Amino acid sequence: MKNLFSKKNKAPKNPLTVEQKIKRRNFISFAVFGAYAAGAYGGWRWLYKSPGETPGITAGARKPLRRALNKTELFFRRLTFNENHLVKTYPRSMAAKKIRHNSDIGSEGVMPPEYWKLQVKKISGETLQITLDELMTLPRTGITYDFKCVEGWDQISHWEGVSFRDFMTHFKLEAESKMDYAGMETPDKQYYVGIDMPSAMHPQTLLAYQMNDELLNGNHGQPLRLIIPVKYGIKNLKRIGTITFSNSRPRDYWAEQGYDYYSGL
Ligand SMILES: Nc1nc2c(c(=O)[nH]1)N[C@H]1C(S)=C(S)[C@@H](COP(=O)(O)O)O[C@H]1N2
Ligand SMILES: [Mo]
């Protein structure tokens, strides 16, 4: 049988009254709350006083926040990106006949084909000038997939053109394909995107000149646009004027406004 009066079970010498107990608990909760509040305030001050990120590529965030964002981005990229993982495609008959038309920064109206050449800036400093006719002699690739805009709409659409990979091989841009990024800009430089090379070289990425059965019209990036199914609409630059290659992030129109630079799906 248990001895109720053993040392262990002995009643405390000065048992606390209920009131004292409550007081003590209140004191502890306030102390804990106070410590959290001080910590939170300290953290906020630290963040507030920390330097802003280098202006340019992305909208100004505090450096530590941007570091955290970049880490998260890398984590998800590694987790979800796989060049053998293909975006879902649909039978061509499911493609919309009337394709939704969104913003046209840098791609308004029509570009007379005789004034347009694709400028490809090689890392040697040389610039290739490529006509649409020349691009159209390369193997033609088509894709029917669900185009997604960050604004919340999506549409199954059909596009044709040259796969970016085939384009790189044909024009002997091997050294360029080993760089970290491709940058693309409209001829007037009003709209521009930066694309990480693995996404650019993804087998479904196209330099597209055709939508459904016709060459692109002025609404959709005539004469040549990027169709990059692994990314949101914002990265699908209409009316490509120049392509550059670099190991640092090329400037990106929407990233400068605070959108995710990677904008992957
Ligand atoms: N030059 C240029 N390209 C652009 C844009 C733009 O404003 N200018 N908008 C982007 C966005 S946000 C989307 S959703 C798609 C829309 O393409 P669409 O008009 O062919 O549907 O183009 C992308 N490419
Ligand atoms: Mo969009």
Amino acid making up residue 88: K
Task: List the chain residues with pLDDT less than 50.
Answer: 1-2, 5-6
As for ligand 1, residues whose beta carbon falls within 6 Å of it are: 99-107, 149, 186, 191, 220, 233-234, 236-239
Which listed ligand is nearest to 228 at the C-alpha? 1
Q: Which two tokens stand for residue 263?
A: 């904008």
β-pair type (225-227, 214-215): unpaired
pLDDT digits (tens, 9 = 90+) for 182-235: 999 999 999 999 999 999 999 999 999 999 999 999 999 999 999 999 999 999
| Model confidence, pTM | 0.79
- H/E element holding 38? helix 18-49
Res 144: pLDDT: 98
Ligand 1 nearest-atom number relative to CA 106 = 1
The Å distance, Cα 128 to ligand 1 centre, comes to: 25
Res 61: pLDDT: 78
Q: Which two tokens stand for residue 51?
A: 């330097």
User: In 53-191, where do the E strands start and end?
Assistant: 118-121, 127-130, 141-148, 154-163, 181-185
Res 123: pLDDT: 98
